[in-house]
A and B are shown apart, each in its own frame.
Chain A
Amino acid sequence: MRPSTVHTPELIAQDALHIPTFKLLKQDGTLYQGAAEPEFDESFAVKLYQDLVFTRVLDERMVNAQRQGRIPFYLASLGEEAASVGSTAALKDQDMIFAQYREQGALRFRGFTAEQFMDQCFSNERDLGKGRQMPIHYGSKALNYMTISSPLATQIPQAAGYSYGQKLQGNDAVSICYFGEGAASEGDFHAGLNMAAVLNCPTIFLCRNNGYAISTPAEEQFKGDGVASRGIGYGINTIRVDGNDLLAVFVATQMAREYALANNAPVLIEAMSYRLGAHSTSDDPTGYRSKEEEAKWAKKDPILRYKHWLTQKGWWDDNKEKALYSEYREEILAQMKAAEKRPVPTLDHLITDVYDEPTEQLKQQLTELKQHVRKYPNQYPKTSGRLDA
């Protein structure tokens, strides 16, 4: 401890605080010396692996679907699957998830089906969001997964407020809030973490530090010791974890949840990883980073690491592996074909949910629009045939 008063001036060095990275699993699936693995039973451990693989297969298929022009946009979580699956696995079903947009693994863990993923990406009439948002903006009340929105970091203070409400209600629940290291530069990061600390909110903030915000490398994003060091400044207990190590992410999140609930206080987790794919289907990373760098990180594949551990436990083998991949590929392809055939929501849903009830002005605008569509049906082929549906 430093003395609380000094009498000669001293600048505290910007690197005075160095936060270590918590790791359990080596890349070959063995444990580091002194590391204690969580007590997973076989079926839980296998379920986690299935969710990792599902997420990867989903991403591969949907990136291809976008390239074929079947959906307008997609955004993969390649290389970061363990950070979202491993953390959500440490939570309870009643805990609310606020995601950024690269956490499809968390939603899969909660039970979102291939059909539901497809219905959202194809904006059809079965999409829970009624076809209003771009692909990957998922949400589900039943699964306590808050609907995603594009503006970065807006969900951070919201998660603080949501968990404050959970605390007032006394229902043994926390909120987890995911965001990237780029989003952590937004003002809402500052607002959310400071408010959660001052107002004693049981919120888990999980930063996926994957090295890039689109083309901007982390060294052009911040100067300090990552995002974790900031948590200390807000008076928030903080841990940095290897985001490609599912077991370490799980253990850190489990500890964070217990602490948050017992103390009515937030926890910050910084999960170190790498965005192996492009930022989105609208991005080409070859313009701003090297193949060598990508190859180095590809060797640290989080799914492969977890598979090695699972195999050494005797809970997984090559036959199961092959069967799982082909099962998911077939299922997703079949659901994709079904989803793209379903019609878009009826035109009435253009004006519902703006308010709890459409206003008179909105009803008038819809009436006029329908008259116009009836007059020019060929101009509006997706809705003109079912205006009275």
Chain B
Amino acid sequence: MSSMNLLQAINNALDIAMSKDEKVVCFGEDVGFFGGVFRATSHLQEKYGRARCFNTPLVEQGIIGFANGLAAQGHKPVAEIQFGDYIFPAFDQIVNETAKYRYRSGNEFNVGGLTIRTPYGGGIKGGHYHSQSPEAYFAHTPGLKIVVPRNPHQAKGLLLASIRDENPVIFFEPKRLYRASVGEVPEGDYELPIGKADIVREGSDITLLAWGAQMEIISQAASMADNEGIDCEVIDLRSILPWDIETVVKSVQKTGRLLVSHEAPLTNGFGAEIVATVQEHAFLSLESPILRVCGLDVPYPLAHETEYMPDASKVFEAIKHSVHY
């Protein structure tokens, strides 16, 4: 074990993946010699050469189109989109091409080797275009997998699993935690399962569900609730698509209450999918309405970032509302 921040864990995962499989190739804007604007790909070009770690021209639809072709050829591209906010020019390549490649060809071809890494989320004074959480746009697209880690240990294990998964994966990295989140990470090679939620803390009164950077927030809220004698079960969804319905439903059947929290805007956020599914499968267990504590339905603001964010105090209030319903 060694102490790493989230970026170092990602860099370490890429290093291991590239050293073990020469088919793994990393590229994107400023990814090459410079090592990425967040330094996630530091030293990879030095170690593995320009052919396997390189800069691309500044064109997101090109990066993903190129990655689709490289994956179809049998390589394992790890393409970086500099900010999740700039993934939209590649939306067509991801939704119409990446996601449908295997299905539409009857499995004659696939881009299963593809992983798209991109920083997401707010809390860094990033305004409209350095703060967004676009996971719900992609969660509506069969054929993709979507993964969001919450800390360095999760990031390394989930990224290694994503690179080796036989399906295309979008890997959203919580950039607010890139340097802020530090933890013990095994030095060797390990994978964490995609599609499985992680029960971070067991409890009996209410289930709190989130992913990525928002895990820190709901954990804080759980501690605040603890002081008031409310026992929260805290779950990290980890995979948005496919998501672990079973673990979440079982938890809600036990606690009778659910609160879902995400940074992205409320309307049509992934929380809506979870709420609809849980009410269908745990209707008779529910003792209060399922609550969502999310971003407002506005573009991500700069001056009012603090007010916009679904912070621990908002989550805490919602927990009390649910428990005292």
Closest CB-CB distance, B217 to chain A, in whole Å? 28
B276 contacts partner chain A, Cβ-Cβ < 8 Å = no
Near A by CB (< 8 A), chain B positions 86-141 give 89, 92-93, 96-97, 100-110, 112
B285 contacts partner chain A, Cβ-Cβ < 8 Å = no
Q: How far is the CA of A130 from the CA of B59 in the complex (A)?
A: 34
Q: Given the known A-B contacts A149-B97, A157-B65, are A195 and B106 also in contact in the complex, defined by CB atoms under 8 Å?
A: no
Interface stretch (choices A41-49, A53-61, A99-107, A163-171): A163-171
Contact residues of A with B, CB < 8 Å?
96, 98, 127-130, 132-133, 137, 139-141, 146-147, 149, 151, 154, 156-166, 168-169, 175, 187-188, 190-192, 194-195, 198-199, 352-356, 359-361
In the bound complex, do residue B66 and residue A194 qualify as a contact, i.e. CB atoms below 8 Å apart? no
* Chain A contacts for B66, CB-based, 8 A: 157-158, 160-161, 164, 191-192, 195, 199
Near A by CB (< 8 A), chain B positions 56-103 give 56-57, 59, 61-62, 64-75, 77, 89, 92-93, 96-97, 100-103
In the bound complex, do residue B62 and residue A195 qualify as a contact, i.e. CB atoms below 8 Å apart? yes
* Chain B contacts for A160, CB-based, 8 A: 62, 65-66, 69
* Chain A contacts for B106, CB-based, 8 A: 127-130, 132, 139, 147, 353
B166 contacts partner chain A, Cβ-Cβ < 8 Å = yes
Q: How far is the CA of A323 from the CA of B74 in the complex (A)?
A: 44
Closest CB-CB distance, B27 to chain A, in whole Å? 9
Q: How far is the CA of A164 from the CA of B65 in the complex (A)?
A: 12
The chain B residue sitting closest to A142, CB to CB, is B108
Closest CB-CB distance, A12 to chain B, in whole Å? 23
* Chain B contacts for A141, CB-based, 8 A: 108-109
23 A–B contact pairs at CB < 8 A?
A130-B106, A147-B108, A154-B96, A157-B62, A158-B65, A158-B68, A160-B65, A161-B77, A165-B74, A168-B52, A175-B69, A187-B89, A188-B92, A191-B62, A195-B62, A195-B65, A198-B57, A353-B103, A353-B107, A354-B103, A355-B166, A356-B166, A360-B246
The chain A residue sitting closest to B25, CB to CB, is A168
B301 contacts partner chain A, Cβ-Cβ < 8 Å = no
The chain A residue sitting closest to B60, CB to CB, is A191
The chain A residue sitting closest to B68, CB to CB, is A158
* Chain A contacts for B102, CB-based, 8 A: 353-356
Q: How far is the CA of A139 from the CA of B105 in the complex (A)?
A: 7
Contact residues of B with A, CB < 8 Å?
25, 51-52, 54, 56-57, 59, 61-62, 64-75, 77, 89, 92-93, 96-97, 100-110, 112, 142-143, 145, 166-167, 195, 242, 245-246
Q: How far is the CA of A146 from the CA of B148 in the complex (A)?
A: 32
Q: How far is the CA of A146 from the CA of B77 in the complex (A)?
A: 19
Q: How far is the CA of A191 from the CA of B65 in the complex (A)?
A: 8
In the bound complex, do residue A154 and residue B92 qualify as a contact, i.e. CB atoms below 8 Å apart? yes
In the bound complex, do residue A168 and residue B75 qualify as a contact, i.e. CB atoms below 8 Å apart? yes
Additional A-B contact list (9), CB under 8 Å, known A154-B97, A161-B67: A132-B104, A132-B106, A139-B106, A147-B106, A154-B93, A168-B75, A190-B62, A353-B106, A355-B167
Q: Given the known A-B contacts A141-B108, A356-B112, A356-B167, are A162 and B72 also in contact in the complex, defined by CB atoms under 8 Å?
A: yes
Q: How far is the CA of A190 from the CA of B59 in the complex (A)?
A: 9
In the bound complex, do residue B61 and residue A187 qualify as a contact, i.e. CB atoms below 8 Å apart? yes
Q: How far is the CA of A183 from the CA of B198 in the complex (A)?
A: 46
The chain A residue sitting closest to B102, CB to CB, is A353
Closest CB-CB distance, B248 to chain A, in whole Å? 13
* Chain A contacts for B65, CB-based, 8 A: 154, 156-158, 160-161, 188, 191-192, 195
The chain A residue sitting closest to B52, CB to CB, is A168
Closest CB-CB distance, B244 to chain A, in whole Å? 9
The chain A residue sitting closest to B113, CB to CB, is A165
Q: Given the known A-B contacts A161-B68, A161-B69, A162-B70, are A195 and B57 also in contact in the complex, defined by CB atoms under 8 Å?
A: yes
Contact of A192 among B62, B70, B89 (CB under 8 A): B62
In the bound complex, do residue A194 and residue B103 qualify as a contact, i.e. CB atoms below 8 Å apart? no
Q: How far is the CA of A192 from the CA of B66 in the complex (A)?
A: 7
Q: Which of A140, A149, A175 has the most CB of B within 10 A?
A: A149
The chain A residue sitting closest to B109, CB to CB, is A147
The chain A residue sitting closest to B74, CB to CB, is A165
Q: How far is the CA of A199 from the CA of B97 in the complex (A)?
A: 22
In the bound complex, do residue B242 and residue A359 qualify as a contact, i.e. CB atoms below 8 Å apart? yes
In the bound complex, do residue B104 and residue A195 qualify as a contact, i.e. CB atoms below 8 Å apart? no
Closest CB-CB distance, B266 to chain A, in whole Å? 24
Closest CB-CB distance, B33 to chain A, in whole Å? 15
In the bound complex, do residue B245 and residue A361 qualify as a contact, i.e. CB atoms below 8 Å apart? yes
* Chain B contacts for A96, CB-based, 8 A: 73
The chain A residue sitting closest to B56, CB to CB, is A195
* Chain B contacts for A198, CB-based, 8 A: 56-57
Closest CB-CB distance, B31 to chain A, in whole Å? 13
Q: How far is the CA of A188 from the CA of B167 in the complex (A)?
A: 23
In the bound complex, do residue B57 and residue A361 qualify as a contact, i.e. CB atoms below 8 Å apart? no
Closest CB-CB distance, A184 to chain B, in whole Å? 15
Q: Given the known A-B contacts A156-B65, A157-B65, A191-B61, are A140 and B73 also in contact in the complex, defined by CB atoms under 8 Å?
A: no
Q: How far is the CA of A151 from the CA of B67 in the complex (A)?
A: 17
Q: How far is the CA of A151 from the CA of B65 in the complex (A)?
A: 12
Closest CB-CB distance, A189 to chain B, in whole Å? 10
Closest CB-CB distance, A205 to chain B, in whole Å? 13
The chain A residue sitting closest to B64, CB to CB, is A157
In the bound complex, do residue A158 and residue B72 qualify as a contact, i.e. CB atoms below 8 Å apart? yes
In the bound complex, do residue A199 and residue B54 qualify as a contact, i.e. CB atoms below 8 Å apart? yes
Closest CB-CB distance, A96 to chain B, in whole Å? 8
Closest CB-CB distance, A67 to chain B, in whole Å? 26
Q: Given the known A-B contacts A147-B108, A161-B68, are A194 and B25 also in contact in the complex, defined by CB atoms under 8 Å?
A: no
The chain B residue sitting closest to A147, CB to CB, is B105
Closest CB-CB distance, A133 to chain B, in whole Å? 5
The chain B residue sitting closest to A197, CB to CB, is B57
Q: How far is the CA of A146 from the CA of B54 in the complex (A)?
A: 26
